[in-house]
Structure 1
Amino acid sequence: MKLRRSNLYKIAIVSMIGISNITISKPAIADDVECGDTITTSVTLNQDLTCDVSPALTVIGPDGRLDMTGYEVKCDGGEVGVLLEGRAALLRGGQVADCEVGVLANGNGFHNIQAVSSTANASAGFQLVSNSNYMTACTAQANTGVGLIVTGERNNVFQNIFEENTLSGIQIDGDRSYITENFCFENIGSGIEINDSSNSWIVENASENNGTSGAGTAGILMNDFDQQYNLIILNVGILNEDFDAQDLNSDPCNSTNLWRNNTFDTADPSCLD
């Protein structure tokens, strides 16, 4: 019997494209942030910004930390909203909109993205290109591309919301990704799309009302890339178009990708559980 939508499935939800024409920018000082700035210390955004340079802002770790305090960075024709470079930069607490990619984690990785909303971006709300980044309590909504593209390895995506994006909520291309306790809702593409990714964990996510009938979408979709040793466990998929879960690899019932203890109404093949 079909399960109905319930707040149960929002449990624990708390809340490379190439870069061209990058403008040479000046360092930012505390609380004096302007379009094109490079942030290398701890600063606080104190106004909305609309920027025609790309990236609009660059945060370089380990000392670069940008607290957006609820303000918005909007692109006016620029490719990247906020670019994280170096190692272990911090971005938190605001909105990024109308860019090609809203937030791009590059450099040496270990960046931390917290409670950021990314909307109306053309290619992706967020893209994790470097390795070992942490993305927590963020929202990717109404992007005309993908909510999140995971390109690098060992990225951690925890307790985020991906909704109403034109393509998939989450697209996983990097190995050893850890995708857990995220909520994917009403994306026109798949909720979670596992592409060229092996040894990844997709655990305790909820994927609901995603997809377009007949368009090859699913609540959780594993495309045919001969992936290996992925764990897809304890997820919930309901009311998705076509299938709640689908694995397009040959003989998925006997592969090294393990689908275990999930809750799906519809699965292709039916051995996915």
Structure 2
Amino acid sequence: MVYEFRGSARHFVVLGILYFALGSSAFAVDCGDTITSPEVLDQDLVCSTEPALTIMGPTGSLDMAEYTLRCDGSAVNSSFNSVIQSGIFKNSGTGIFIAGDNNNVSSSSILDNLENGIQLEGNNNLIVSNEISRSTLNGILIGKADGNTVAQNTVSMSGIGGANTAGILLELLGKSGNVIVGNTVFGNIDFDLQDNNSSPCLNSWVGNSPDATTSGDCVTSN
């Protein structure tokens, strides 16, 4: 799982690759640390420990200050991680890239990232109650991913005109079992909701904004 964020999490265990932004100065952070107070990374870290870092809320947070944290252990595409009540702002790539399974991203603000807000390339993940806005590409991109739930997010003002981008985009990869439900989507540049797959429709679009702009035979806004 790749995270790109600035902020805090209640209980955040990292087993993958992380890229964060921003920062001032604090105490040194080393591989294997458990962080219980606000800290700022002061160097690039390559960790063989798993998890690389553990951030414990409600007081623990990590500002990456434009440095990177990479896990060189066996679990690069990691599972069963949580990012909760975090801020993911102004990254030069995707805000949160999920390559593992059974991860949870919820109640976070994911704003002004230069690629996708969230990119899903794993299975059975839960993306719920996040605010995702002003992503240069897609707010949420669902790629090589089955059985994910994308629910009750607010996704707005993302995309590049004419570049096949959307607030929530399901790529043409024949994946199945993804449920996109109850999302509020508006003001995205090309489309609010887009499914590039054709019939038979193997994913569900239910109860999203009734006035959303849509593209694709399988996508419905409500």
Q: In structure 2, do the counterparts of structure 1 residues 71 and 183 end up closer, same or farther at CA, with 3 Å as the change threshold?
A: same
Unaligned runs of 5+ in 2: 1-8, 10-14, 19-24
Q: CA deviation at 1:71?
A: 3.2
1:181 and 1:84 map into 2 onto residues whose CA distance is 33
Q: In structure 2, do the counterparts of structure 1 residues 156 and 104 end up closer, same or farther at CA, with 3 Å as the change threshold?
A: farther
Alignment correspondent of 2:162: 214
2:176 pairs with 1:232? no
Q: CA deviation at 1:137?
A: 1.1
- Give the % identical residues: 23
SS of corresponding position for 1:97: coil
1:82-231 matches, cutoff 5 A: 85-86=49-50, 90-91=54-55, 92-99=60-67, 102=68, 129-231=77-179
Alpha carbons 2:31, 2:53 under 8 Å: kept: no
1:186 and 1:18 map into 2 onto residues whose CA distance is 23
Q: In structure 2, do the counterparts of structure 1 residues 103 and 266 end up closer, same or farther at CA, with 3 Å as the change threshold?
A: farther
1:176 and 1:256 map into 2 onto residues whose CA distance is 15
Alpha carbons 2:52, 2:71 under 8 Å: kept: no
Q: Which runs of 4+ in 1 moved over 6 A?
A: 16-19
Q: TM-score, normalised by structure 2?
A: 0.77
The RMSD of aligned alpha carbons is 3.1
**Letter matched to residue 138 of structure 1:** S
Alignment correspondent of 2:40: 72
Structure number with bigger Rg? 1
Unaligned runs of 5+ in 1: 1-13, 20-45, 50-55, 110-127
Alignment correspondent of 1:266: 213
2:146 and 2:157 map into 1 onto residues whose CA distance is 26
The alignment of Structure 1 onto Structure 2 pairs a total of residues equal to 197
Alignment correspondent of 1:57: 30
Q: TM-score, normalised by structure 1?
A: 0.64
For residue 257 of structure 1, the aligned residue among 188, 192, 203 is: 203
Higher RCO structure (Cα 8 Å, ≥6 apart): 2
Alignment correspondent of 1:28: none
